[in-house]
Structure 1
Amino acid sequence: MKVSALTGKNNYFEDFTVGEVLRHARGKTVEPLEQVWITNVTMNTAEGHFNEHLMKSSPWGKRLGFGGVTISMCIGLAAQDTAENALMEMGLHKIRLKAPVHHGDTLYCYSEVLEKTDAEQPDAGIVRFKHYGVNQDDKHVFEGERWVLIKRRSHWGDK
């Protein structure tokens, strides 16, 4: 079986159009266990992520989600459409956490194609995306730019 049989047919380098905005199909609820576990594993000592008692008296009134999880979830929600035919993640830039995310919030993601450029290798091109994350209330919680080296259909797709 060809690897191309396992991936999408419309997300090769040639398929992306500058200015196009993609609404990704899936959402993901931020589970408390995920948040606290990753906060602890990364040795993040900010109590706002894991001390419910302390946060009850804060302006937010409850624990805050760890920004690293928010970033990862938004990039992950975009991955099926933007990186399924990726050869390499090339970089993240201009990462902004725009509003707090709390345990139990559900995140959704949109991606805008900002730029397409040829790569040094002929079988792929570079796409620069701007990703936007929103919560269940459509509040803007994340944005960031990402460069991905993506396969060209002309070299990798079914002939």
Structure 2
Amino acid sequence: MPQDTTNPSTGTAEQRTATDTTVQLRAGWQGRFYEDFAVGDVYKHPYGRTVTETDNVWFTNLTMNANPMHFNAAYASGTEFDERLVNGLFVIALSVGMSVVDVSANATANLGYDDIQHHAPVFHGDTLFAESEVLSKRESESRPHVGMVTTELRTYTQDGELVLSLERTPMVRKRGAADPSAARPPGWPAGVGTQPDAERTVPDGESR
């Protein structure tokens, strides 16, 4: 049976027939490489994240943080915040994680975190959103396949309140060194999954 498809460049409907055996392998988002960064660019990272009580308690226990502000509701109710605070290190980890898709998906190392500031507390139920601004970039003198990119990461609540800012400097691969392709995006071993010379599988009962 013919299969309806849509041409992404024209938006028009097309049909693939049983005689079409060519696999159309298209590259997905592969992250930014060193050449893709420009000073002054701002990336608003996708997928805000709502922080739950479970996030806070598990992270606090996992990291052996004994401050009762994160897990003792009776104690926290007697403070100026009147409730438990989300662990600040969790806010940092979550914010950095949200930025990876745009900033450091192709990084080989994080060289440092600087000027970390908690501007306001985060509470259970807050939804966090993050953005990164490129502050500087430079090529590595000792590793020609990478360059250093410094960004300022800023995190906001659903109400637009700035809760965190920090600078971080990942060491990011250059595109030529990574040599990404639709068949082998970053992180994939060679030969795994659909390949450009593959033929489309025809279901039983269809003819070519």
Structure 1 residues 10 and 78, CA gap change in structure 2 (3 angstroms): closer
Overall identity of the aligned pairs, in %: 34
Counting matched residue pairs gives 155
Q: How many Å separate the matches in 1 of 2:71 and 2:40?
A: 40
Does 2:124 match 1:103? yes
TM-score (normalizing by structure 2)? 0.70
Residue 148 (structure 2) aligns with? 126
Greater radius of gyration (CA) = 2
Q: Of Structure 1 and Structure 2, which has the larger fraction of its residues in strand?
A: 1
Q: How many Å separate the matches in 1 of 2:94 and 2:77?
A: 25
Does 2:48 match 1:19? no
Q: What CA deviation, in whole Å up to 9, does each residue of 1:30-79 have, x standing for no partner?
A: 11112111212222121111111222232222110001100000000001
TM-score (normalizing by structure 1)? 0.91
**Counterpart code for 1:40:** N
Q: Of Structure 1 and Structure 2, which has the larger fraction of its residues in helix?
A: 1
Residue 98 (structure 2) aligns with? 77
**Structure 2 unaligned blocks of 5 or more:** 1-25, 182-208
Divergent runs of 4+, >4 A? none
- Say whether the 8 Å CA contact 1:88–1:149 is kept in structure 2: yes
Structural mapping, 1:48-59, within 5 Å:
48-59=69-80
Q: How many Å separate the matches in 1 of 2:29 and 2:115?
A: 28
1:29 Cα offset (Å):
1.0
Q: How many Å separate the matches in 2 of 1:151 and 1:104?
A: 37
